[in-house]
Amino acid sequence: MNESLEASPLDLREALRIAWRRRWLLVIPWAVAVLGGVAAAMLLPPIYECTVTMVLERPSGLPDNLSGKVATIDPAAQVDFMREQVRSSVFLSSVITSAGLHNDATTHAWALKRAPRPAGMSEPDAIEAFLVDYLRQAITIKLLKGGVFQITVADRFAGRSQHIVEAVANEFLASAKAAQMEAVRRTGEFSSEQQQIYKRRLDESEAKLEAYRRDVLTTTVVNSTVGVGNVAKARTLLDQARLEAEDLGQRIASLRSSLAGRVRDEDLRALGTPEVLSLAGQLAALERQLAAAMINDGGLDGSNSMKLAIVRKHEELASELSLGAAKALPQVPQAARDVAIDYRVAQADLAGVIARRDWLDRQVTGYERSVVMTPEREMEVNRLQQEVDNNRALYTTFLQQSSATQIAEAFQNAKLSGNFLILEPARRPLEPARPNRPVLILLALIAGGVVGVGTVLVVEHHDESMRNAEDVENLLGLPVVGAIPRVAELQAQRRRANPLAAAAAGVPTSREHGMLHRLKVESPLGLEFRRVYLKLAKNRAQALPHTLAVTSATRGEGKTTASACLAITMARELRQKVLLVDFDMRSPALHRALGLPSSSWGLAQVLAQRHFDERFVRATVLPYLEFLPAGKSDRPAAELIESEVVEWFVKEAAARYPLVIIDCAPNLAVPDPLILGRAVEGVLYVIKAGSTVRKAAEYGVKVQREARDNILGVLINDAGEILPSYYGYGYRTYGYADESAGTDS
């Protein structure tokens, strides 16, 4: 969007101005929408809607043991089931027959006319298929609050909609009763199957419980040495065994270090005879028995006897090692043999203590594991017992409910297709439900307005044209010397620029008076150009320039009309000779702006001959204004307009006339204004508000300044159309009437 519009909020007057400027973008969508809404409201056929309201009977209470086993009514599932039914061809065929649509002559003729009839299909079948498809679209089922079902049928005829909705409701009632009878017939099978299922489940759960209990007894009824009474003692003995094992390990390490270099490993292994190994094994067994005796015996007799046996076995081991050392190690000194014997005895003692420690550790760990698993076993037993109880209760319940009458009643009250009750029967509609003509027209009005406003906003958002004087001055860095209003004086000028439009409007295309006769002093246009004259006369505290060129960025921005109006105003104000030159030799139009006939002689001959022949200059009805037309030449304009020739012409014209105003071509189209800009004293740049693209104006001013920085200011054309109200002349002030706007060429 334009920066100026983003900088300040859009007030109401600005919004109305934009709406008026873009009025066709508002009016056309609005008119199209209104016409469409009126056409839809008048042409759409009336549709009547007939409704039946139904509800399912609330089921009676079931026994507690059966309440979770038999399906209860779910309104959401029921409405889905009903919608599936109305999609079924069989169901809809029953509705067609029940409603008597086959016998209705009007329906038969309408269906025969509309029904497609593929090859090989008979006429009744085609009508039937068409009516089935039609009813699929016409029937609507809704679930309301409180489990209430609303069946609605929309049709072009009020009576037919009533017959169809009544037939649909009757089919639902009939299908519900049929489903109930089917449920009653299946009650015997249901009872028998459930009894067998729960008998099997009961037997399985009882067998599972018995097996688990047996497994628990097998794992717990063991000769457990450690129990609640001696677990503390067992843990103390385990700690003592660990300490003894650590002490023996240290002693063995000490003996091993003392044997270093005196006895080889082979010699130590030679002492491990079968008798020695057997005695070591017996010593380990005695250690385990000692641990059991110390845990179980309340007194000390058992443990003392085991200790005495261990001492004896220890002596036997030492004697056996002494005999074996004398035989196996005759070359080893006696002292070393004694140390070796002590080393082997210490190893046997360590093995026995380790056996005692490991046995105690297993006993304590087994006790602790049994203590931890006891709650889990109890929970599992309770769960299995609960499962047995539930299955036994269900089995007993089904035995009690084996009567076909009771189970049939349970199905009738709890199955999905329950008993329907009609709360509100069908009533013949008195007026159509749609189309709602007032609403359609209102929506069309709103939609047209929304589309129109949206179109205006989009166009305004993407509008890259110059919008106001502040925008022009900020972008171009030039003062706005005049805001030319869009008034009635310029409308005829626009029609003359387009001969076809002028002929269509009944405007003669022959000689007309033009701006010489239409530009009144006491008019908004005349007063604005007088204001331009005053600004130029005091521009930069300098005198009025003697030579002045008027150009623009592109065609159609009003530079020709501006040149003519400016020359007329200057001639009136200065009361000195003013020469108006048409320098747009490729597309001369200044003579039309003045209301003068075209001429083949003029500037082209002056430039070609390089002789200022005053015979080519034409007088006007104003005594101080003379006009030099563009003329025609066989040579291209680019060859005639050269820098030296243009400078010569400007000097010659300035020597003969106090003021020379030159209308030249757009400076982005051809380089003529750039060449002329170097020769004249000042340049006025014309911009058409709401039309000139910002980048085009910015680039046009840039290239003109590059030729010579002598642009005096900007004339904004069509200011009354695009600029804010304080630039316009639309108010009935000072006696001026409100004049409609038009564009100039």
The pLDDT confidence band at residue 516, using thresholds 50, 70 and 90, is: confident
Q: Are residues 336 and 481 in the same domain?
A: no
User: Residue 518: inside a domain, yes or no?
Assistant: no
Tell me the sheet residues that pair with 618.
Answer: 627
What number is the average pLDDT over the span 571-591? 92
pLDDT at 289 over 60: yes
Q: Are residues 449 and 533 in the same domain?
A: no
Query: Hey, what are 735's tokens?
Result: 């006696």
User: Residue 215: inside a domain, yes or no?
Assistant: no
Domain boundary among 393, 416, 450: 393
Q: How does pLDDT run across 622-667, given as a tens digit for each residue?
A: 999 999 999 998 888 888 889 999 999 999 999 999 999 999 999 9
Type of residue found at 159: G
User: Residue 313: inside a domain, yes or no?
Assistant: yes
Q: Are residues 386 and 411 in the same domain?
A: no
Q: Are residues 40 and 52 in the same domain?
A: no
Residue 244: per-residue pLDDT: 86
Q: Are residues 446 and 475 in the same domain?
A: no
User: Residue 608: inside a domain, yes or no?
Assistant: yes
Q: Are residues 411 and 480 in the same domain?
A: no
**Lowest pLDDT segment from 102-116, 417-431, 640-654:** 417-431
Q: How does pLDDT run across 148-207, given as a tens digit for each residue?
A: 889 999 888 888 888 898 888 888 888 877 766 666 566 666 767 777 787 787 788 778
What number is the average pLDDT over the span 378-402? 73
- Three-state DSSP class for residue 686: strand
Range of the domain at 28: 3-44+435-461
Cβ neighbours around 144 below 10 Å, total: 12
Q: Are residues 90 and 23 in the same domain?
A: no
C-beta separation of 612 from 649 below 8 A: yes
Q: Are residues 130 and 267 in the same domain?
A: no
- Cα 546 vs. chain centroid, distance in angstroms? 66
Q: Are residues 90 and 77 in the same domain?
A: yes
Half-sphere CA count of 388, side-chain side, radius 13 A: 14
User: Residue 716: inside a domain, yes or no?
Assistant: yes
**640-647: Cβ within 8 A, 24+ apart:** 640/585, 640/604, 640/607, 640/608, 641/585, 641/607, 641/672, 641/675, 641/676, 642/675, 643/675, 643/678, 643/679, 645/607, 645/610, 646/607, 646/675, 646/676, 646/678, 646/679, 647/678, 647/679
User: Residue 221: inside a domain, yes or no?
Assistant: no
Query: Could you tell me the CATH number of the domain that includes residue 539?
Result: 3.40.50.300
User: Residue 210: inside a domain, yes or no?
Assistant: no
Q: Are residues 620 and 579 in the same domain?
A: yes
Q: Are residues 487 and 550 in the same domain?
A: yes
In the chain, the number of structural domains is: 4
Q: Are residues 264 and 363 in the same domain?
A: yes
User: Residue 511: inside a domain, yes or no?
Assistant: no
The pLDDT confidence band at residue 2, using thresholds 50, 70 and 90, is: very low
